[in-house]
Structure 1
Amino acid sequence: MKHPFTILLIAASAYASSASAIIRCELDGRPLNVSNGAELAGKSGQVRCREEDTGHLQREQELRNGRFIGQERMFDREGRLLRERTVNERGNSHGRVVEFWPNGKVRREETVDNGRTQGAVRRYDASGRLERVSFHSDGQEVFHLEYNSKSQPMRLLCPRASVLPDDRKLCGFDGATDTELFAESGARSAQLRYDQGRVLSATEWSSDGLVAAQQSVVDGRRVHRSFYTEGGKSVLREERVFTPDDRSLRDTRGELLTTRRYGSSGQPIEQRNFEGGREVRVERWYLNGSVRERSTWSGTGPQARLLREMYRDDGKLARRDQLNADQWPVGTQQAFHDNGRLAMEEQYSTTLDARGRTRLTARKQWDDTGKLVADDIILEDGSRQRKPAGTDS
C-alpha cells in the first residue's frame, strides 16, 4: 500500500505539471511526511525531497522545531537549481532571493524584507548579460534601467537621490549629462538631459528617425510638444504648457496653462487658455490664417457665461452667441450677412424652464441692406406673434 503522502504528491504534481511524479521527502535519511503537522512537530534539520524515479533533488528546506524557517532551495525536474531564498517565521521570503537559469547562471536576484522587495533587483539573460536593474524603497520602485540585447540603455526611471552606482552617470548625479536611450533594434529612441535625477529636457524619435515628442522647461513651466510625420518630415502637432509645479518634466498630468494645435504647414489652428485648471478662452483659425472662432468664459459656477464668436474664412463675423454653464443660449444671439450687416438677433431667457433649458422669447431679422423684415415675439408654445411694421421693439 502506498504512503498517503505519496498519493497526495502524485495528484499535486499532476495538477501542476501534467506529469505524474512520486516525490519522497526525508529528514536525516528517514522518511518524512511534510504535509503532516503532527509528524513535523518538534523536529529540526535539513529536509530533502527527491523524485522517486530519477532521484533528482526537488526541494531542500530547513526545519526548525517543526516549522520551515531558514534556507529553502527549489529545483526543476532535472534536479537543476531554480531558486534559493530564506524563509522567516511568517513563511515569507526574507533576505536574498535568487532565481537561476537551467545553465546555472543567475536569472534574477533581489533583497526582500518580510515578503516585500526592498533595495536592488537585477535580472539577467541566460548568458549572464544584465537586462534590468531597479531599486525599491518603501514598497515602490524608485529607479529602473533596462537594456536592449546590445546592452544599450532602453528604458530609464531616475530617483530623486542616487540609490545605486548604476544611476550615477545616467541620471546626472555626477553632473548634468545627456543620456541617450535606444530601441531594441539599436536605433536611438530618446535623448534626455538629467541633472541630479531630474529631467531638464527630452526628445523622442520615431522608428523612422523623426522627432516624435519634445519636453522642456521654459520659465519654470513644463512644455510638451508632440509631432506627426507628413511627407517624410516631422511636423509639430500639439503643444501643451503646464503651470509651474513639482512634477517631473515627463509627467503628462498637472494643471494646464495653454494648449495649441497646429496644421500640416506648421500654422496654429487652435489655442486654449486655462486659469486655475478651468478653460477660459478658445481661439481657432482656418488653414488660410483667418480667425475661425473666439470663445471666452467669464464668471464661475452656475453664473458662468460663454461669449462665442464664429467667423467666415474671409475674417468676417458670422455669429455671436452667449451661452450659460450648461451650454444653453442666454441673452442676445446674433447672426450676420456676408457683407457684415446684422442678419438676425434672438433673445433668450436667462432663467431656466422646468426642463432646465432657456427659452427663445424674441427674434428680429434684417435683409443684407439693413432693412428690418421680421420682428417676432416667441410665445411659450413656440408660436410667433409678429409685430406690425414700424412698431418699436
Structure 2
Amino acid sequence: MSHLRRAAHSRLAASARVSAAIAALWLLAAGPAHAALECELNGRSVNLSDAGSIAGKTGLVRCKERGTGELQREQQLQNGVFMGLARFYEKGKLAKEHTLNAKGNIHGLAREFAPNGQVLREAVYDDGRERGLVRSFYPGGPLRRVTFYPDVGTDRAFVEFTQSGKLSALRCGETPMLAPAADDAKLCGFTGGPSQVELFDERGILRSQLSYKAGKRLRSQNFYDNGKPSVQDEIVGNQRTERQFSSEGVKRRETVWRLHERSAVRQREQEFSEKGALIRDQRWNPAGDPIGDDSYYLNGQARSKSVYRGSGDARTVEITEFYESGQRAAHGRFLVVGRGRQMPIGRHQRFSEKGTLLAESIFDAKGRVTRERSWDENGVLERDDQVPDDKK
C-alpha cells in the first residue's frame, strides 16, 4: 500500500511540474499583454494549459495570436517535455532562438535578432550559464560589446564600442580573453609594454585615457565635455594617487593610498580652493592612523594645525588655531578616544589677535574641567574659578 501511495505521489508531483512548466510557457508565449494564443502540435490543436494535451508527445509546437494569426513561437517537444530548438517571434519576425536541454535550461548557441534579421546578440550557454565570448551588435551590424564569461564566476573581461567603432569601455582580465573579437592582448598591455587606450562617447568626444600593463591599470584620466581633466588615477609601485579637478581644470583634491595585497590605506589627502590654493592637508601613518591635519586660509596662512602623538589608549592630538594674520588664536591637547571623538585634557588657552591670553581652562585626565580663568584685553584677570570635586 505504501508503494502505491509513493507512486501516486510521484505521478502527482511530476504532473504538477509539467503543469507549472506549461503555465510558465503559456505566459511567456502570451507576451506582455497576455494575448490569446492558438497552439498546435504537428498540425493538431493543443491546449497548453492542459498538461494532458501534450503528455508523452513529440513534435513541433507552434503558437499564433488568435486575433491576427501572427506566429508567436515555435518549440520542439520530446516525449511531453519542451526540449530542443525554441524560437520566439515579434510581429511575425524572428526575435530570439535558443536550445533547451532536458532540465529546461538553455544549452548551446542562443541568438537575438532585429526585425531585419540582423543578429543583435549571440552567446553560448552551458546548462543555463553563459560561457566564453558573448557578443552584442548594433541594429546596423557593428559590434557593440564583447564579454568573456569563464567556467567559474562572472564576467572577467569586456570591451564596448560606439556605433562608429570607437572604443567606449574596457575591462581587462588576468590574461587575454577577448580574441578574436577584440585584441585585448594589446589593449591590456600583455604585449608590447604598457598600453595607451582612449575611450569615446557616442558623440565622438574623448572621455578617458587609460594605460594597462599585464591586465592591470596603471593610469586613467577622465575628461569633462570641454576637454578638461575631471579625474586622474595613477599607480606607481605600491602607491596610488587620485586627483580631482573642477571643470575649469583646477585641482580640487588629491588623495594618496598605500596599496597592499587586498586593501589600500589612505596616506595623504589635500583639498584645494576654486583658485587652486591649499586649504586642508591630512596625513596618516602606514596603519591608517592620523598623524597630522592642517587647514589654511586662502592667503596661505595656517588656520589650524593638528599633531597626533602616541598610540593606543594613550594617543593624543595637539591642536593650534591661528588668526588670518598668523597670530595664535587657541591651543589645547585632546585624548583620542575613538574615530572622530576627542576628549580635552590638560591646559587649553585662547588668545587675542594681539597675542594676549584671554581664557584658560584646565581639564583632568577624564576630560573634566578643574579650573577656569579669563582676562580682559589688557591682561587683567577677570575670573578665576576653581571647580569643586563634588561638581566634577
- Normalised to the residue count of structure 2, the TM-score between the two structures is 0.83
Structure 2 counterpart of 1:202: 220
Give 1:288 shift: 1.1
- Counting matched residue pairs gives 359
C-alpha offsets along residues 105-147 of structure 1, whole Å, 9 cap, x if unaligned?
1111112222222222211121111112212233312222222
Identify the match of residue 211 of structure 1 among 229, 238, 246.
229
Residues of 1 paired with 2:292 and 2:390: CA distance? 35
Give 1:104 shift: 0.7
Query: For 1:243, what is the secondary structure of its paired residue?
Result: strand
Segments of 5+ residues of structure 2 without an aligned counterpart are 1-22
Amino acid at match of 1:362: R
Of stretches 320-329 and 86-95 in structure 1, the one that deviates more from structure 2 is 320-329
- Normalised to the residue count of structure 1, the TM-score between the two structures is 0.83
User: Residues 13 and 20 of structure 1 are in contact (CA less than 8 Å); yes or no, is this contact kept in structure 2?
Assistant: no
Structure 2 counterpart of 1:84: 97
Structure 1 counterpart of 2:196: 178
Residues of 1 paired with 2:37 and 2:300: CA distance? 80
Matched, 1:343 2:354: no
Amino acid at match of 1:332: R
Matched, 1:70 2:84: yes
Structure 2 counterpart of 1:363: 372
Residues of 1 paired with 2:382 and 2:44: CA distance? 110
Structure 1 residues 278 and 336 mapped into 2: Cα distance closer, same or farther (>3 Å)? same
The aligned runs of 1:159-170 (5 Å cut-off) are 159-165=173-179, 166=182, 167-170=184-187
How large is the RMSD of aligned CA atoms in angstroms?
2.7
User: Residues 24 and 52 of structure 1 are in contact (CA less than 8 Å); yes or no, is this contact kept in structure 2?
Assistant: no
Structure 1 counterpart of 2:131: 118
Give 1:302 shift: 5.0
Identify the match of residue 319 of structure 2 among 308, 315, 322.
308
Matched, 1:235 2:253: no
- Over the matched positions of the two proteins, sequence identity in percent amounts to 33
Structure 2 counterpart of 1:334: 349
C-alpha offsets along residues 233-284 of structure 1, whole Å, 9 cap, x if unaligned?
310010010012347xxxxx83211101112333321111123233332011
Matched, 1:94 2:107: yes
Structure 1 counterpart of 2:164: 150
Matched, 1:257 2:267: yes
Give 1:16 shift: 4.0
Identify the match of residue 317 of structure 1 among 328, 350, 353.
328
Residues of 2 paired with 1:188 and 1:268: CA distance? 30
Structure 1 residues 305 and 69 mapped into 2: Cα distance closer, same or farther (>3 Å)? same
User: Residues 30 and 37 of structure 2 are in contact (CA less than 8 Å); yes or no, is this contact kept in structure 1?
Assistant: no
Residues of 2 paired with 1:270 and 1:88: CA distance? 63
Amino acid at match of 2:205: A
Residues of 1 paired with 2:92 and 2:29: CA distance? 18
Query: For 2:141, what is the secondary structure of its paired residue?
Result: coil
Query: For 1:335, what is the secondary structure of its paired residue?
Result: strand
User: Residues 35 and 65 of structure 2 are in contact (CA less than 8 Å); yes or no, is this contact kept in structure 1?
Assistant: no
Looking at secondary structure, tell me which structure has more helix per residue: 2
The aligned runs of 1:101-140 (5 Å cut-off) are 101-137=114-150, 138-140=152-154
Segments of 5+ residues of structure 1 without an aligned counterpart are 1-7, 248-252, 352-357, 384-393
